């Protein structure tokens, strides 16, 4: 499967460029699905009566579930020819996310380094997950490997044997 032609190469982006993703509303289904997928049935996430007795007074979304939703938003904007997520430099969980909250991701390219003899590059991105109130709920920096534009082959130069 090939990337769509509008997906950006490593070469197409500059350090300090920024993008903002579309919004995504967190649903009860997201929490239930993540609990089943991860096995994390902490009552803070899945038990409404338990959650009423916590400082938040209601269930909160899993932190890594929100990170996963943001990952999906982050691959939409900017649309990049990503080969792999290769690391997390740091990540902070700052505020809870509740059912019904709408998040979007603000992405800024922090650093880029050419790798693989010019076939790919490593990019460091700062990502902030922002809720509908404009508050940052999570933020940090991640590393990805991104395709470079295909290298062009140099034209064949005449050799002494082929030169006229």
In a domain, 107, yes or no: yes
Overall number of domains in the chain:
1
In a domain, 162, yes or no: no
Length of the chain, in residues: 164
In a domain, 160, yes or no: no
Number of Cβ within a 10 Å radius of residue 77: 15
In a domain, 93, yes or no: yes
| Residue 41 neighbours by CB under 8 Å, 6+ apart | 35
Residue 51, domain CATH: 3.10.129.10
Whole domain around residue 73: which residue ranges?
A: 10-147
In a domain, 164, yes or no: no
In a domain, 161, yes or no: no
- Calculate the alpha carbon distances from 93 to 40, 138, 149 in Å: 17, 5, 35
Q: Look at residue 164 and tell me whether its pLDDT is greater than 60.
A: no
Tens of pLDDT, residues 139-159: 999 999 999 988 766 665 666
Identify the residue with better confidence: 123 or 159: 123
The pLDDT value recorded for residue 49 is 97
The pLDDT value recorded for residue 16 is 97
Q: How far apart are CA 151 and CA 120, in angstroms?
A: 11
Q: What is the pTM assigned to this prediction?
A: 0.86
In a domain, 1, yes or no: no
Average predicted confidence (pLDDT) for the chain: 92
Tens of pLDDT, residues 76-109: 899 999 999 999 999 999 999 999 999 999 999 9
The pLDDT value recorded for residue 1 is 62
In a domain, 49, yes or no: yes
């Amino acid at each position: 499967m090939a990337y769509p032609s509008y997906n950006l190469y490593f070469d197409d982006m500059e350090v300090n460029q920024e993008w903002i993703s579309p919004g995504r509303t967190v649903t009860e289904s997201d929490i239930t699905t993540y609990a089943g997928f991860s096995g994390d049935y902490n009552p803070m996430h899945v038990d409404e009566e338990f959650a009423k007795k916590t400082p938040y007074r209601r269930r909160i979304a899993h932190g890594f579930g929100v990170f996963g939703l943001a990952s999906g938003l982050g691959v939409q904007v900017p649309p990049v020819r990503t080969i792999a997520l290769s690391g997390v430099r740091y990540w902070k969980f700052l505020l809870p996310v509740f059912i019904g909250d709408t998040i979007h991701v603000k992405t800024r390219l922090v650093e880029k380094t050419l790798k693989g003899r010019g076939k790919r590059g490593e990019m460091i991105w700062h990502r902030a997950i922002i809720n509908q109130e404009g508050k940052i709920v999570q933020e940090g920096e991640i590393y990805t490997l991104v395709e470079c534009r295909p290298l062009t082959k140099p034209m064949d130069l005449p050799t002494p044997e082929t030169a006229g």
